[in-house]
Amino acid sequence: MMELVKELMNKGYMLWQLGHLDEAIDCYDEAIRIYRRLVETEGRKELENDLATALMHKGVALQHLGYLDEAIDCHNEAVRIRRRLVEIEGRKELENELAGALINKGVALSNLGRLNEGIDCFDEAVRIYRRLVVEGRKELENDLASALMGKGIALLILGRIDEAINCHDEAIKIRRRLVEVEGRKELENDLASALINKGNVLSNLGRLDEAIGCYDEAIGIYRRLVETEGREELENDLAAALMNKGNALLDLGRLNEALRCYDEGIGLWERMMAEGKVHVAPSLIKGLGSRFGMKRRMGDWKGAAEDVRKVLACLSLFLSFGSLPEALEMELDRFRQRLHQMTKAEWRALASALGKDAELVRRLLHL
């Protein structure tokens, strides 16, 4: 039985890496059922932490598919199990795993807009990791950086900019030292992620050239890892970095450069969708919204209409599945808002470019 459950967890992880998240969740669900029976019926209490791990993996997969409430349910149970093991049963060796569960819960809460609750989770994780690192657990420094980054993202959304910058600066400092001084090349993608997040803060402050510097360094890292080292699982991160750079270039009025970034990022997401990695759909819709806004600004209604058609195709795909994940619904709402903001003259121009598809757009996007 234990061999089977280990195989299920490994298979789930491999499917996750390939972007097949629904199938990964099926594996995690079966593993969870087995662990529950072993723990609750057969008294195998030593497997409780493994049950928490399976719940956490399922929660992360659900987050990426946009099922945020269900993800939080998984993370809540994982945190509850590990907190009891650490605080009541004295399993101090699991403190770092409790911190990891808190980070995942914090991310899910932040994605749902429950930012202060998310920050509480990140703060507890930071406290745990700081103490463990001081106690000599140097292998946890990158996890400390992850907790700081999660907190920084939530602080940025709340408008607490200085605190957000401090979090991201510390995360970058830790990861740059680990990669460049200690030779931890396997953490290069984590350094790139920290650079992206600092770039986002700088962009919000209007320090666009500095933000682009962060994005460029991150893009350089991701591009090498994806194109030279075959790290296909980082394509989504490369696409997001390109879109962020495009947004900053757009704000600087450098439209042609911004469009090149948008085109490359959206192209990566479209290719991933074609490969069945449908978890990137919310990102694709968001990216199409950004490019649509630029084409509207440029008066390129033929190009804008093409982006609307791409959104419709994505929507139709998910409607055929029977439901829309929360994250996808949120991005569709934002796209609808873009269309509602158009003037009557702009809508006429877009409708003309859409031709026979204009009525379908009105109906499916509730215009």
Mean pLDDT estimate for the chain: 94
pTM of the shown model: 0.83
> What pLDDT, on the 0 to 100 scale, is given for residue 279?
87
Task: Please say if the pLDDT value at position 112 is more than 70.
Answer: yes
Mean pLDDT of the 289-309 span: 96
Q: Are 97 and 78 in contact (CB under 8 A)?
A: no
Q: From the CB of residue 336, how many other CB atoms can be counted at a distance below 10 Å?
A: 16
> What pLDDT, on the 0 to 100 scale, is given for residue 367?
56
Q: From the CB of residue 91, how many other CB atoms can be counted at a distance below 10 Å?
A: 16
Rg (CA), the chain: 22
* Chain segment 269-284, per-residue pLDDT in tens: 999 999 988 889 999 9
Residue 199 phi, psi (nearest 5): -55, -40
Q: How far is CA 271 from CA 65, 193, 278, 295, 314, in A?
A: 17, 22, 10, 22, 13
* Chain segment 58-72, per-residue pLDDT in tens: 999 999 888 889 999
CA separation for the pair 78, 98 (Å, rounded) = 8
Structure tokens at 242: 């390109």
